[in-house]
Amino acid sequence: MYHTRIKTLLAVLTVLSSVSVSSAPMGFSESFMAMGDFNNNWRELNINYATSPRDAFGIGATYMRADDKTKSRTLEEFTYTRLIHRWNLPHAQANLWFQGGVGALQGLDKIPGENHHFDKVMITPGVQFDYETTRLYFQASHRLYRSSDINHDFTSVRAGFSFYETEYDKTQPWFILEARNMNGLSDMVEITPMLRLINKNYFVEAGVNNAREPRLNFMYIF
């Protein structure tokens, strides 16, 4: 009976550890997390430090460009992440997160006959919900990118599945499909199928979106 309980506990810990790496926007307490998301019109790099199991503070840099290349934005911000609620289910985990920041926005609008440059303060509050087992994954997020006279709110939905189960310390391949859009910069819903390789403290994703542009994402906890 004792050995059965130990095996059950180890199995649960394996599931929860896998879940926290692949979907969480922060790592375990007193860990650093680095995250990157790159394609032609969206380039984002963030690093944060978890001060507790529920709170992380960090910095981020984001480059955004309109599909027609008439607008570009660069944002450097201080960020805060908070685990609002976690549901530990028998064979899965679900989380609700707050993610937000405040920073300096530099913008360029190409107007016929002139280029309009500006500097503003931008705030970026948002929420993320994710659900995951060792085989299935779902995430939905909405984040406001607001400044005076600017609304670049960002919405993303992604879902996927693993090809097979692995041990905690082995690399597991996943298929991920994401749809996302940024208000005011794109009229198109960007759809990207990606292959994800995940291990206990990192993942990498690569794919090509419906505009035939390559995309690369990564996350690393240290």
Helices (H) and strands (E) in the chain, counts: 1, 15
Cα–Cα distance between 59 and 80 in angstroms, integer? Answer: 9
**What domains sit in the chain, N to C, each tagged with a CATH number?**
2-221 (2.40.160.20)
For the record, the structure tokens of 38 come out as 């790159």
Give, as one character, the DSSP assignment of residue 1.
Answer: -
Mean pLDDT in the chain?
90
**What confidence tier does 22 reach under pLDDT thresholds 50, 70, 90?**
low
Q: Over the stretch 59-74, which tens digit does the pLDDT of each residue have?
A: 999 999 999 999 999 9
Q: What is the pTM of this model?
A: 0.87
